[in-house]
Each structure stands twice: as C-alpha cells, then as structure tokens.
C-alpha cells in the first residue's frame, strides 16, 4: 500500500536531482546536452510557458489525494490541444521517457505517481465543452472539464451528468479510472456512460475508440476499444476527449434517513428495496462508528447505529410510490421512522453527515491520515462481509468507520492511521489485504471504484487470475511496447 | 391589485467563461461565447415562482431586453415556472449601448402597463456590475425599494425585506407596489428540467419595441475603450536587504 521510491531511468543526473530539491534554484541548471535537447523539443511544441521544471509544480503533479508518497515527475508539460499532446508523446517515445497523464490529481490510488520519473502531461488547459447535443443526450468534453463544470454548463438544458465520485474530478480522468459514485445504483458508472474516447497512444498515434465524432447510443461494431481504455488508468493512452451519456435532471428529489438496530437489518432493507424494483437513486450506508464521528464533527444528533441515507428521483407521483414502498420495507426490518427532506436546502443538510464523512473520520484522531478501502461484493454477500469486517477492526484495534454505496455492494472503511507509526501502518496494511481477500472469496472485487493504481497490483492477479493478467499484459505490450504509459500502475 | 409580479432577466456571458477583449479594444468578445441568464436574475425568478407556489401572488411575467437571443433567456425563466414572457426587442448599436437607465425606463413602463404588484430584479448584472436598474426603476415609478434582499415576506399589503448591508442585516417594511432586487442568499434557484422545458415552449412570449412603450433608449454614455487587466508579471528574487531597497527605489515605490 505504501510505496518505496524506485529510482530508475531518471531523466536527470543525480547531481541535478540534488539541485532540484533545493528551494532556491537557478533558472537554467547545468544539464547534459541530451536533457537540453529534450527540453527544447518540448518547449518548441507547447511554448515556454507550457513546460515547467519548478520543484513546486513537479511536486504538485506527483501526488494525488491518496496516502501514497509523492513521486514527482522530471518535468511537467501543459499541452493546449490534441495535436500538441501527440507531438509531445512522439518526443517522449523517441527518448524513452515515461508519460504520466494528469487531470485534477483527485485520485485515491496513487495513479499519478511518477515512479520512474518522466514527463507529466497536465491536461488542464484543454478545458472546452465541445459538441453538446441535448436532443441526443450526449456531449463531448476535453480533459480539463470537471464534472461540476460540465453540470454548470448544462444547467439550462435540463440535462446533467450524474456520475458523482465526490471530488470535482476531471471527466476524462474519471473515464481513465472507471469512476463511480453515490448514484451508480441508478445511473451506472463511467463504464456505462462513455460512448467514445479520443486518446493519444505512447507513440503519438491519435485513436478514436468508436470512430471520429461517432455517438450512437449503442453499437455492435468491432472490439469495444472504448471500454478497454475506460479504467486503464493512463497505462494505455492519454485521453484527450470523452463523449458522455447525459440524463434528464430529475423533476423532483426526496431524501430520507433511517436508522436500524443492526447492520444486517440495514443491508437486508437495501437488498429488498432493490428487489422490489424501486429505482432508488442513492442508498448509502454508514455504520455506528461513522454516525458517531459525524455527530461529533457536524454537531448533529443522529442515532448512533447503522444508518441508511436514501435519495429518490422522479416525478412527484412516482416519488410518492417509491417512498411508500421503501418505508414499508425498512419498517418491516425494524428501521426507525424516516427523517425527510424535499427542497434543496433541507436535502443538503440531511446529506451533510454523509458528505463530511471523510473529514469526520479524520477528526476522530487529529493529526492522522486516512485511507479508504474499496471492496465490492454481490449484494447478497454484503451483510456477511460487513459484519466480518467490523469484527476484524475491533479485534485489531483499528479505527475504520464504514461508509458505503450499499446499492452496489460497495463499501469503504475509512482507515484512520498515524502515518509515523510503522506498527499501526503495518496492521492497517494487513487488514486491507485480509479485507480484499475476504471480498474475493465472496465473488467480489478488491476495487469497486478507486482503481488498482500502485497499491493493488498483487490483488489484481488474485482477482482476475493469471490467464486474464497475461491477456492484459499482451494488450499492454501491443499498445505500449516500451512501457512508457504510466509505468508501475495496474500491471 | 393584480397579484402580478414582473421579473427582469438579463442575458449575459456565462460566469464560467474566460473573458477576452477584442483586438481593437472596443468591447469584449461575445461571438460564439456561451451566454446564460445572469445569476442574480435566476434568483429573482426563483423567488417569484416560489411566491406563486405559496399562492401569495397570481402570475409571474418575465421580461428581457435585447436581440432575438434574449428569447432563450426568457424560455429558461418560463421553464423555471414563470407564466409568460415579454421580449423587448433591442438590436445592434442600440443593444450595445443599452444600460440601466434605458432598461429601468422600460421596466417602469411595463410595470404600469401590467399593473404589477412587485418588480423583482437581480441586484446587479455580472457583466457590467452596475447595480442601478432596480433603484432607478423604483425612482421612476416613485415606488419603495427593497434592495439586496436576502429574505422576503408578504405581510398583508406590505412586504418585509431583510437586506444584506455592509454592517450586517437590515430589516425594512415597505408598501406595495414595490421594487425588490435579489441578493445571493435569497434562495437557491431550481434547475430547468426537461418536462418543464417542454411545457415552456407552449407558454406565450409577447414581442414589443421600446417605442411601443413610449421609451427613448438613446444612451448618454459612450464607451471609449476596453482593456484587459494588466498581465501579472513574474516576481523577482533578491539576495539582500540593500538589493531590495535598491529595486524598490528603481520602481519608484519608495
């Protein structure tokens, strides 16, 4: 989970690295001729301002929001269009330099760590919303467009892009990590909502996975290259455009909170609500430890017991029906009366506990860091795995409040850990491995939405099996024979 | 009283767009740039629609002044729940020179014509930041005004307005008919949903010209030049205090 630094194939000489690490450095440190020529090639493509050598900029681009240590790249480039991305990739390909695509740096698995150094492609200047077709429910965006920016752009059209991983992430980055979120149970994840991608491969080739400009709602044409790249975490190509599926903004929304006497009761209710065919939009589970943390952090007074946060979308009439059915089910499982909210203001207040979960967990032990586990199992296995996991946490004296998208069988233990205590770190590490293997034993996955990144490569092999890993490696070798695209991730 | 509320909405460059000035420094680039309803106008529309839903008023009429594209902004307001629209057609040079004085004359004329109980406007537009139209409209009508409203409540034939001012919050009670301008915290505007956008297509938008209202829209102002803010330059590092003093003297700062 925590990675040691692997210095190999660096662009710069060790002496230069030392220069770079000082806070005050000269504009143009002494470089070898080879480094100079690469830098001038990069600058000639994206301009003087488009290439950054500064320590602060490189550090910023070597870390995300995970607990993984910062591995800064050797240089950061800021291309402005796909042609520049292609030319820059060609330069990197020629000089065997690793390429690390960077969106918003909001990932949770160390996906942007430049473990072998190289060139970080920061795509934030490519920030246009292109080709909106409201009547076809699709839009194409560049990597600098975040999901909140897109939804703000769409607000007058009555459409929205509902995949909501929490952070205001780059949509192309979300495609790269196959992101999901709280309303995947109704609207799906990125896998179901990307229609087409434009990507630049390691040798500079510009690829349109479904054909240039194509956006039919469905297709049976050839191999599914779009979904090959979705979730490839920058190891196969740099995504420069994504065509996304849009949905109508719900006419009305209602949120509710319901507490239960046990984890089993809460999860059973979830399963039954889904089996009853209620098109529930969000169904989030918080365990008692999490509820206690939220109460303290946000000065709330929710019951300290397993709780479900629910949200229903639809027309006024369909909402009535959905809510009636759901309430029937929760009450039959011993659930409390619903706490309600209809208008935007009250719904936000109701959900505040869930939204602040991360910070509430951190506040349990100030000064500590947090790491979120991400297992996902078939729904019927959920009660078992959560109960066993809570047992594990208690036996090993670990702080791990649980919050999860139970509608998908996905839950996160927010492991709060003292980063300077190697013994605790070790216990957390072992716990996360046990948890992942527990999920695999129950026909699940070690990562429902965060991705493999740096920390779960060994688990990937256990999960998909050696044959599948071999096929993945062959695909990787055929698209990126020099292993320049984000080395050290996934495989 | 008619129970009718008039809401003014302005079509402006979307708040998320990076503004660029034309090379001839005459104005900002508007061609091909995303436009949307002024955020404070959205809040004004939302407040009026909320009042109708609470049955405090009977009808919400939304007004916009501008060329053909102003109709899109009116349609968005109709999709939010306004009942009908009035498009005051102003085009070309007249539109470029249209400012608060002209708009307030138009709003005043329409308020009288529609027998409005309230005129609700956004406190200011995000393109010119004038913050004048509401106040001028009230003056032309000789009506009371409740500006920078963060809370509104009808109390019989009076209206209580909580205003956001520098020192905090000020509460005033004014007679109706009145002019209100909406501030940020008055409400959270709803999104237009697809079914409502469909319904809005059937709602009526009347077309009038300023002359029909007896309003002269000649401007008394002339824009001479538009410039971007100066580009931020790189900082300079100095090694000693003497160096610092020398540089500051050089730059004429001390």
Q: Which domain holds residue A298?
A: 252-357
Average pLDDT over residues B207-216: 96
**Which pLDDT value is given to residue B236?**
84
> Residue ranges of the alpha helices (H) in B97-220?
100-113, 133-141, 194-200
For residues A139 and A243, state if they share a domain: yes
Q: Is the pLDDT of residue A403 over 80?
A: yes
Same domain for A87 and A109, yes or no, is yes
User: Is position A260 within any domain?
Assistant: yes
Residues in B touching A248 (Cβ below 8 Å) = 193-195
Write the residue in A155, A158, A345 that is nearest to B194 by C-beta: A158
Residue A348 lies in a domain: yes
Q: Is residue A39 part of a domain?
A: yes
Are A155 and B192 within 8 A, CB to CB?
yes
Residues A186 and A230 both lie in one domain:
yes
* Co-location of A151 and A165 in the same domain: yes
Is the pLDDT at A441 greater than 50, yes or no?
yes
Chain B CA closest to residue A137: B194
* Rounded mean pLDDT, A261-288: 92
Euclidean distance between CA atoms A43 and A78, whole angstroms: 10
Residues A345 and A301 placed together within one structural domain of the fold: yes
Show which of A333, A357, A381 is a domain's final residue: A357
**In-domain check, residue A469:** no
* End position of a domain, from candidates A335, A357, A379: A357
Q: What angle do CA A354, A360, A361 make, to 5 degrees?
A: 105
Residues A26 and A118 in one domain: yes
Same-domain check for residues A347 and A239:
no
Strand-pair partners of A160: A247
In a domain, residue A456? The reply is no
The CATH number of whichever domain residue A44 belongs to comes to 3.30.43.10
Q: What is the mean pLDDT of residues B42-51?
A: 97
Distance CA A310, CA A258 (A): 8
Residue pair A112/A121 in contact (Cβ under 8 Å)? The answer is no
A150 and A230, same domain (yes or no): yes
C-alpha A68/C-alpha A369 separation (Å) is 11
Say whether B193 and A251 touch across the interface (CB within 8 A). yes
A205-to-A84, A95, A420 alpha-carbon distances in Å? 12, 16, 45
Residues of B with Cβ-Cβ distance to A54 under 8 angstroms: none
Q: Is the pLDDT of residue A28 over 50?
A: no
Q: Note the pLDDT tens digit of each residue in B144-183.
A: 999 999 999 999 999 999 999 999 999 999 999 999 999 9
In a domain, residue A351? The reply is: yes
User: CB distance B191–A149 less than 8 Å?
Assistant: no
- Tell whether A133 is within 8 A of chain B (Cβ): no
C-alpha span between B9 and B14 (Å, rounded): 14
Can you give the pLDDT at residue A380? Answer: 86
A156: nearest CB among B76, B195, B237: B76
Task: List the CATH number of the domain containing A385.
Answer: 3.30.70.2740
The CATH number of whichever domain residue A236 belongs to comes to 3.30.465.10
Same domain, A241 and A256: no
> Given an 8 Å threshold on Cβ–Cβ distance, is A158 in contact with B196?
yes
Q: What ipTM, to 2 d.p.?
A: 0.86
Distance from CA of B1 to the nearest CA of A (A): 30
- For residue A187, which of A314, A308, A272, A287 has the smallest C-alpha distance? A314
CA–CA dist A380, A260 (Å, integer)? 18
Measured distance CA(A176)–CA(A235) in Å, rounded: 9
Chain segment A340-390, per-residue pLDDT in tens = 888 887 888 888 778 788 889 989 999 888 889 999 999 889 889 998 999
8-state DSSP, A451:
-
Domain boundary among A208, A232, A248: A248
What CATH number did the domain enclosing A312 receive? 3.30.70.2190
Question: What's residue A167's pLDDT?
Answer: 85
- Alpha-carbon distance values, B10 to A150, B42, B151 (Å): 22, 9, 22
CB contact under 8 A, B192 and A160: no
> Taking the model in full, what pTM does it have?
0.89
Please identify among residues 148-207 of chain A the ones whose CB lies closer than 8 Å to any CB of chain B.
Answer: 149, 152-153, 155-160
Average pLDDT, chain A: 90
Looking at chain B, which residue has its C-alpha nearest residue A132? B34
> Per the domain annotation, does A3 fall within a domain?
no
Q: Choose, out of B43, B193, B240, the residue to mutate when testing the contact with A (most A CBs < 10 Å).
A: B193
Residue A139 and residue A108 in one domain:
no
| Residue A418 clears pLDDT 80, i.e. is over it | yes
Q: Is A24 on the interface with B (CB under 8 A)?
A: yes
pLDDT-based confidence at A93, cuts 50/70/90? very high
Residue A481 domain-assigned? Answer: no
Nearest chain B residue to A150 by CA: give it: B16
Q: Let me know whether A109 and A197 are in one domain.
A: no
Q: How many domains does chain A have?
A: 4
Burial (CB count within 10 angstroms: exposed 0-12, middle 13-18, buried 19+), residue A442: middle
Residue of B16, B37, B79 with shortest CB distance to A153: B16
Residue B16 forms contact with A (CB below 8 Å): yes
Tell me, letter by letter, the H, E, C secondary structure of A298-364.
HCCCCCCCCEEEEEEEECHHHHHHHHHHHHHHHHHCCCCCCEEECCHHHHHHHHHHHHCHHHHHHHH
Least-confidence region, from A12-16, A203-207, B56-60 = A12-16
B34 has a chain A CB within 8 A of its CB: yes
Please judge whether A251 and B196 are an interchain contact, meaning their C-beta atoms are less than 8 angstroms apart.
Answer: yes
Cβ–Cβ < 8 Å for A431, A415: yes
Same-domain check for residues A244 and A256: no
* Residue B194 contacts A where some CB pair is shorter than 8 Å: yes
Contact state of B79 with A158 under an 8 Å Cβ cutoff: yes
Q: In this structure, what is the dihedral angle of CA atoms A318, A323, A326, A332, given to the nearest 10 degrees?
A: -140
């Amino acid at each position: 989970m925590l990675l040691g630094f692997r210095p190999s194939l660096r662009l710069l000489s060790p002496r230069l690295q030392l220069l770079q690490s000082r806070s005050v450095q000269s504009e143009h440190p002494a470089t070898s001729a080879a480094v100079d020529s690469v830098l001038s090639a990069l600058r000639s493509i994206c301009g003087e301002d488009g290439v950054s050598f500064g320590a602060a900029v490189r550090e910023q681009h070597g870390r995300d929001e995970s607990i993984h240590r910062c591995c800064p790249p050797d240089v950061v480039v800021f291309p402005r269009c796909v042609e520049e991305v292609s030319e820059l990739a060609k330069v990197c390909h020629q000089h065997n330099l690793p390429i690390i695509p960077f969106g918003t740096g909001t990932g949770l698995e160390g996906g942007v760590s430049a473990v072998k150094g190289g060139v970080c492609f920061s795509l934030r200047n490519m920030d246009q919303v292109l080709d909106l077709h409201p009547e076809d429910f699709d839009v194409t965006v560049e990597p600098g467009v975040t999901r909140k920016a897109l939804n703000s752009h769409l607000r007058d059209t009555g459409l929205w892009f509902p995949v909501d991983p929490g952070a205001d992430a780059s949509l192309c980055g979300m495609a790269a990590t196959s992101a999901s979120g709280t309303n995947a149970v109704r609207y799906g994840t990125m896998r179901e909502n990307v229609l087409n991608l434009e990507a630049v491969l390691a040798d500079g080739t510009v690829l349109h996975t479904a054909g240039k400009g194509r956006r039919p709602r469905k297709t049976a044409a050839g191999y599914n290259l779009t979904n090959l790249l979705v979730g490839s975490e920058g190891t196969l190509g740099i995504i420069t455009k994504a065509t996304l599926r849009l949905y109508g903004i719900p006419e009305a929304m209602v949120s509710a909170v319901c507490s239960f006497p046990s984890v089993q009761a809460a999860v059973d209710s979830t399963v039954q609500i889904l089996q009853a065919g209620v098109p529930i939009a969000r169904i989030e589970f918080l365990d008692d430890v999490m509820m206690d943390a939220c109460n303290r952090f946000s000065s709330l007074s929710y019951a300290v017991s397993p709780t479900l946060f629910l949200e229903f979308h639809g027309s006024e009439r369909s909402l009535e029906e959905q809510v009636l059915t759901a309430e029937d089910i929760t009450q039959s499982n011993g659930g409390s009366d619903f706490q309600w909210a209809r208008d935007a203001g009250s719904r936000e207040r109701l959900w505040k506990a869930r939204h602040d979960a991360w910070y509430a967990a951190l506040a349990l032990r100030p000064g500590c860091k947090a790491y979120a586990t991400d297992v996902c199992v078939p729904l019927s296995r959920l009660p078992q795995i959560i109960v066993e996991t809570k047992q594990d946490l208690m036996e090993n004296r670990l702080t791990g409040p649980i919050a999860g998208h139970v509608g998908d069988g996905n839950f996160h233990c927010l492991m709060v850990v003292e980063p300077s205590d190697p013994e605790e770190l070790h216990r957390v590490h072992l716990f996360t491995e046990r948890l992942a293997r527990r999920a695999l034993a129950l026909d699940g996955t070690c990562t429902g939405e965060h991705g493999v990144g740096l920390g779960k490569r060994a688990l990937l092999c256990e999960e998909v099996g050696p044959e599948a890993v071999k096929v993945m490696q062959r695909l990787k070798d055929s698209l990126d024979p020099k292993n320049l695209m984000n080395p050290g991730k996934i495989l | 009283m008619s129970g009718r509320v008039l809401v003014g909405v302005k079509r402006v460059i979307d708040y998320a767009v990076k503004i660029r000035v034309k090379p001839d420094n005459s104005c900002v680039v508007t061609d091909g740039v995303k436009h949307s309803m002024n955020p404070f106008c959205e809040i004004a529309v939302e407040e009026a629609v909320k009042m109708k839903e609470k049955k405090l008023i009977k009808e919400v009429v939304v007004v916009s002044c501008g060329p053909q594209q102003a109709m899109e902004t009116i349609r968005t307001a109709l999709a939010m729940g306004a009942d009908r629209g009035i498009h005051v057609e102003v085009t070309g040079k007249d539109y470029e020179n249209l400012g608060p004085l002209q708009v307030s004359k138009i709003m005043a004329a329409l308020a009288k014509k529609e027998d409005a109980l309230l005129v609700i406007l956004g406190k200011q537009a995000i393109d010119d930041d004038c913050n004048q139209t509401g106040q001028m409209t009230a003056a032309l009508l000789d009506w009371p005004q409740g500006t920078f409203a963060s809370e509104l409540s009808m109390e019989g034939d009076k209206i209580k307005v909580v205003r956001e001012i520098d020192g905090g919050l000020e509460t005033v009670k004014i007679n109706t008919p009145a002019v209100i301008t909406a501030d940020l915290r008055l409400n959270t505007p709803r999104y237009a949903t697809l079914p409502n956008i469909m319904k809005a297509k059937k709602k009526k938008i009347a077309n009038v010209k300023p002359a029909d209202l007896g309003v002269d829209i000649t401007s008394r102002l002339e824009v001479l030049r538009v410039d971007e803010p100066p580009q931020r330059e790189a900082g300079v590092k100095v090694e000693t205090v003497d160096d610092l003093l020398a540089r500051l003297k050089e730059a004429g700062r001390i």
